Amino acid sequence: MIMTSSKTFQPVLERIAEEIGRTPGRGRPADYIPALAARDPRAFGMAVAEPDGTVYGVGDWREPFSTQSITKVFTLALDLAREGDELWEHVGREPSGNPFNSLVQLEYESGIPRNPFINAGALVVTDRLQTRTGDAAAELLGFLRTESRNPDLDFDREVAASEDAHGDRNAALAHFMASYGNIDNPVPVLLDQYFRQCSVTASCADLALATGFLARHGVRADGSRLLSSSQAKQINAVMMTCGTYDAAGEFAYRVGLPGKSGVGGGIIAVVPGRCTLCVWSPGLDERGNSVAGVAALDRFTTLTGLSVF
């Protein structure tokens, strides 16, 4: 089935949901954050947003969930819009090949993280946005509220507190990079900002809409430009190569779209010029990606013929 009109999005989503509903083995929710561990691994939602803001959805597509690392995409965009290529002097653009919270590469790469989507790289980006705005988390939340058209989006204090209680590895990453001069703000301030950022709760519909600027080549929902076309291309490229932790190659092979996952079970994906997607199902594989979410995106690109390849 090859898509010829956006009107076919809804039946495609319904077919995918029906297929996913018959699939056994959905993985396990993240267990180190109580609010995530309690989620039903068989929950499933999926939304597609067109560049004009039209949204299609199926299943639990309006159910809020913990965005976690998905927000790294938006923080990256907000900082890149402010400082441009100077950002890339402080964080790389290469896949790490290691788990998202690894410290291994930092020492022999002089405190420069491999990419902005592993935890070390996201901490650097948040730090730089904090320096430029004075409140990186609030800047992120304001952007998400505006682009999603949902003024009720907010942080989840319980999730942020859980992140803080289990945040020793992130603190170690931040202190290590600070020792190389790659962190500007006091580490406790940075960690508070980072944990708040990861605690944002949103639905598939919210995130599909909020990601729209990447399908519109850097243009926001109101028609103003956040990023140049080149910068939007850069973010999509880094999502393709680094957005799903150390499974980015497998994700590109199966799905064929730029994507970013979070351990809350969500994944966003971009079809430049055509649409943005968000899928959510809390059961994760061993690399921290939603089992049903990857399968659903795989089916979407197969059924519609929409991929970057």
- Rounded to 5°, angle at Cα 263 from 233 and 220: 35
Quick count: other Cβ atoms within 10 Å of Cβ 208? 29
245 is annotated as an active-site residue: yes
Catalytic residue among 12, 56, 58, 72, which? 72
298 pLDDT tier (thresholds 50, 70, 90): very high
Mean pLDDT of the chain: 93
4 pLDDT tier (thresholds 50, 70, 90): very low
User: Angle between the 136-148 and 71-83 helix axes, to the nearest 10 degrees?
Assistant: 110
First CA to last CA distance, the chain:
17
Residue 100, pLDDT > 80, answer no
Q: What tens digit of pLDDT does each residue of 193-230 get?
A: 999 999 999 999 999 999 999 999 999 999 999 999 99
Catalytic residue among 66, 69, 96, 102, which? 69
259 pLDDT tier (thresholds 50, 70, 90): very high
Catalytic residue among 263, 271, 279, 291, which? 263
Q: What is the mean pLDDT of residues 62-70?
A: 97
194 is annotated as an active-site residue: yes
Q: What is the mean pLDDT of residues 152-167?
A: 92
72 is annotated as an active-site residue: yes
Chain Cα centroid distance, residue 115: 14
Residue 8, pLDDT > 80, answer no
Catalytic residue among 238, 245, 279, 290, which? 245
* Options 2.30.30.790, 1.10.1740.10, 3.40.50.1100, 3.40.710.10; CATH of 6-304: 3.40.710.10
Residue 1, pLDDT > 50, answer no
69 is annotated as an active-site residue: yes
Determine contact, residues 149/173, Cβ cutoff 8 Å.
Answer: no
Domain ranges across the chain: 6-304
d(CA 258, CA 237): 7
pTM: 0.95
Q: Which of 135, 107, 67 shows the shortest CA–CA distance to 127?
A: 135
Catalytic residue among 48, 91, 187, 194, which? 194
Radius of gyration of the chain, Cα coordinates, nearest whole angstrom: 18
**C-alpha dist (Å) from residue 249 to 156, 198, 244, 258:** 32, 24, 9, 11
Residue 2, pLDDT > 50, answer no
Alpha helices in the chain, H assignment, sequence order: 9-21, 34-37, 71-83, 104-108, 119-133, 136-148, 157-165, 168-179, 187-198, 204-210, 212-215, 229-242, 248-254, 291-304
Residue 59, pLDDT > 80, answer yes
